[in-house]
Amino acid sequence: MGSLRKHRLIEIEWPDFGEAEPPPPPPVDEFEARIDATRNAMDEHGLTHLVVYGDREHFANLAYLTGFDPRFEEALLIVGPQPVPLLVVGNECEGYLPVSPLYGAGRLRSERFQPFSLLNQPRDSSRLIADIFADEGIGPSSAVGCVGWKYFADSEHPDGAHAIDLPAYVVDTLRALSDWGSVTNATAILMHPDVGLRTSCSPSEIAYFEYTNVLASEGMKRMLFALHEGMTDHELAQRALFNGLPLGCHMTLLTGDTRDRGLTSPVGAPIRRGDPLATNICYWGSNCCRAGWVAASPDDLPRDARDYVERFAGVYFEAMSEWFRLLCIGTPGGKLWRLIQDLLPYDRFGIYLNPGHLIHLDEWLSSPIYPDSRVPLRSGMAIQVDVIPSSPAYFSTRMEDGVVLADETLRRQLRQRFPACFSRCQARRAFMTDVLGIPLPEEVLPLANIPAIVPPFFLEPGTVLAMEA
């Protein structure tokens, strides 16, 4: 590891890669293909039915399959022997059903189940959930897979296959109609990092995720260039200019007074020179995060942190350059995990979570990057550059944005269908390699407009980290 290239500080004008127009939603035939792939996976697992749960927080599997995301209420998608799946919703979500291209095309049935509605709303015009399930053919001979938002290894639960994270009354009803052992956790069909259907993005998904990465990263750029001492965290957050798209997680913003609160949102705290600062902006399919110091130079930092660049942020940047070099199709995830353990040892950098994960409509889908993982990186994976160092003295640093791995075929499809998106990705690649000195495999497409830009001192955002030639 001693032969690694070293970091340096350079002065730049931040690049302008242009705005992204919102792409059209995926066509109906793409959603139909997702349902067909789901049915094929059901056959492989010997399932007669798949029951997919969703609520406001856990919406992504439903949205992926139908284009519908629940608002206020829970919802269930039932995929079974009938050729057209059934979406079960509460009172208020009925009026939202046309958001689904499948529903608009007559390729998705719906039924109202009022117990999904909020408390004390009307409850007098829907059937029991048992009757709905029975009419979909769920009975003694059925094998029902349940999709929530987690699956469980036997090391996490004594019977992981039957540990189900749907509401108990739903699972109890399914088991009463079928039997206990025939109702299993099938979330891996959609979310497993190796075989999950949502782990390989289509060109339309990539275009949408690029759009939201642009929104998030342009918001982050506005925040960093507007930052000044004396403002509050609320005032800084306003510079992000949210445009109304749904968020993938709450915005976080911590500074000196809230440093020890982890995932805190803005609380009205003052921003002072010499304080640490970290913040993120997360739309569906994107999460842009930066962490550093409210400072113009090392002289503004606490005395024990004045070698922040040399001992911490610069070393992190060097390690991330190597991380990108390994970001190749076919690389086993465990190799990336080992690289970070070797270059950024825990006792100095405190990296506890996976050094990178998959992102989709939800901020964290799953991760192929964990100890001894043999899960290979694949074309179509949307990967969050999410390596989170932490130090009592140095605080943190970050270049957290999104990238997609795309083989030659997927790059050609993206270029044909979304040429402006593809062109921006290529321009970002050139910036990362030619200006920042980060080696990128040809399959890596950066999605955000501030790709790998790390200003250690936020009051001088034009001073950024790069690699020596």
Residues 6 or more apart whose CB falls under 8 angstroms from that of 134 comprise 177
Write the CATH number of the domain with boundaries 7-23+202-467.
3.90.230.10
Residues 6 or more apart whose CB falls under 8 angstroms from that of 288 comprise 213, 216, 217, 219, 220, 280, 281, 282, 400, 401, 448, 450
Q: Where are the domains of the chain?
A: 7-23+202-467, 28-197
Instruction: List the Cα angle 429/193/108 in 5-degree steps.
Output: 100
Q: How far apart are CA 28 and CA 57, in angstroms?
A: 25
pLDDT recorded at residue 3: 54
The answer to whether the CB of 406 falls within 8 A of the CB of 379 is yes
Residue with tokens 């969703």: 54
pLDDT recorded at residue 50: 98
pLDDT recorded at residue 1: 47
pLDDT digits (tens, 9 = 90+) for 134-177: 999 999 999 999 999 999 998 999 999 999 999 999 999 999 99
- CATH topology of 7-23+202-467 equal to that of 28-197? no
Q: How far apart are CA 48 and CA 136, in angstroms?
A: 10
Domain 28-197 -> CATH class: alpha beta
Q: Residues in the chain with pLDDT < 50?
A: 1-2
pTM above 0.75, yes or no: yes
Q: How far apart are CA 170 and CA 211, in angstroms?
A: 37
Other CB atoms within 10 A of residue 81 CB: 10
Q: How many Å from the N-terminal Cα to the C-terminal Cα in the chain?
A: 17
Q: How far apart are CA 265 and CA 122, in angstroms?
A: 35
> Number of H helices and number of E strands within the chain?
14, 15
